[in-house]
Amino acid sequence: MADVTLDAGAANCGRLIGLVVDAMAQLAPGQTLGVTTYDPSGQLDLAAWCRMTGHRLRSITPVADHVELVIEKASTAKEASNGARDDPQHARQR
């Protein structure tokens, strides 16, 4: 079971990531966020975001009409407040 849960509804891509970034900001390293998404590509978006930022995607569980994911917050997360990696390549996103 996750420490905190987020029902992202049908939010997709950018909006989904923004909701997750905001929720993760409230967690301490090692805590987990459970995300429910009804967007079919949500699991792909969040898996890619975890790879980019260094957070650990602990589980993906398909359930009827949605997907439940659990993300563990890394102590060395790379995202800035906008969810992008904190490097010069992404500076234009700030």
Q: pTM, whole model, 2 decimals?
A: 0.81
Tens of pLDDT along the chain (94 residues) come to 899 999 999 998 889 999 999 999 999 999 999 999 999 899 999 999 999 999 999 999 999 999 999 999 999 877 654 444 444 554 444 4
Q: Which residues of 19-35 are buried (b: 16+ CB within 10 A; e: fewer)?
A: bbbebbeebeeeebbbb
pLDDT for the residue 25: 94
What is the DSSP code (8-state) at residue 28?
A: P
Q: Where are the domains of the chain?
A: 4-81
For domain 4-81, say whether CATH 3.30.110.40 is its number.
yes
